[in-house]
Amino acid sequence: MYKKEFEQTGSIKQTCILSLFIQNGEIDKIGIEDLPKQFLNFFLAGTETTSNLVGMIIYYLTQIKQLQQKLQQEIDQNTDQSALALSNLPLLNATIKEILKYQGPGNSLLDRIAVQEHYLEDIKIEKGVIVNVYMKSVHRDSRFYTDPHCYNPLRWLETKENKYLLPFTYLPFSARPRNCVRQHLALIEARIILNSIIKNFNFELNEGYKLILDFKFSPQPQNPLSIYFNRR
């Protein structure tokens, strides 16, 4: 059906993974069994890691009331709700960027296999060894970041991190050819979700709740976040 529509009109009204493959001329290069795998990749990007990202941001907004208020002001003043417009909101994007640095959902998911024997200073890496780049240690390194153990979205607006960060010291989605193929979708979703929630609610942490994280597939609270959503 999509192929016929594309042949007749040169485009496909419905935007989805299948229609994109057809319009980009890639549909004949993949088998029908590969389509569910592609869908699953994007689906996971929109659930596990993105929900973790949004949850962590809301938690820290309960800890920094001034940040919560400034975000509400920025979002309230924005009249264009498109994904493109949300990508240009400075504080919203700085807040997302900081949580990816500070408590990113994929900071320990960067396994690589050594393709040749190599040395890291005096440490020998044998060919075939699995190496995990633990990015949280880089993201908390004082050589690269001011107050690295402090959650501070303003660093991306007001300090040297905004302009002078060294290459490969901010890698929440890895880098180079094998970086996260789903990162753009995840960021679009996070902006849309946060924009809607922050526009409509204030957040309060349940008194006595203490955040303790377990590091599994992604960092997860040992006890579910206990946050009150109060309609504005």
DSSP code of 87? T
Q: What is the pLDDT averaged over residues 167-174?
A: 86
4 within a domain of the structure (yes/no):
no
Instruction: Map residue 221 onto helix, strand or coil.
Output: strand
Spatial distance between the Cα atoms of 110 and 116, rounded to a whole number of angstroms:
18
- 162, part of any domain: yes
pLDDT of residue 125: 93
Kindly state the helix (H) or strand (E) to which residue 125 belongs, with its residue range.
Answer: strand 123-125
Q: Is residue 26 part of a domain?
A: no
Give the pLDDT confidence score for residue 103 in this predicted structure: 85
Which long-range contacts does 2-9 make (Cβ < 8 Å, 24+ apart)? Answer: 3/27
Residue-number span of the structural domain to which 101 is assigned:
31-231
User: What is the per-residue DSSP string for 206-217?
Assistant: PTT----EEESS
Is residue 75, in this structure, part of any structural domain at all?
Answer: yes
Total number of domains in the chain = 1
CB atoms within 10 A of CB 187: 21
pLDDT score, position 29: 82
Q: Residue 180 above 80 pLDDT?
A: no
The mean per-residue pLDDT over the stretch 68-92 comes to 95
pLDDT digits (tens, 9 = 90+) for 184-218: 888 999 999 999 999 999 999 999 999 998 877 67
| pLDDT above 70: residue 110 | no
The DSSP letter of residue 165 is P
- Determine the Cα–Cα distance for residues 135 and 144; give it in Å rounded to an integer: 13
Query: pLDDT tens, 44-59?
Result: 766 778 888 999 999 9
13: in domain: no
pTM: 0.82
> Cβ(42)–Cβ(183) under 8 Å?
no
State what percent of residues in the chain have pLDDT above 90.
Answer: 51
Token pair for 21: 């493959």
pLDDT at position 52 is 87
The CATH number of the domain holding residue 85 is 1.10.630.10
Residue 222 is assigned to a structural domain of this protein: yes
Domain contains 227: yes
Q: Note whether residue 11 is domain-resident.
A: no
pLDDT at 20 (0 to 100): 85
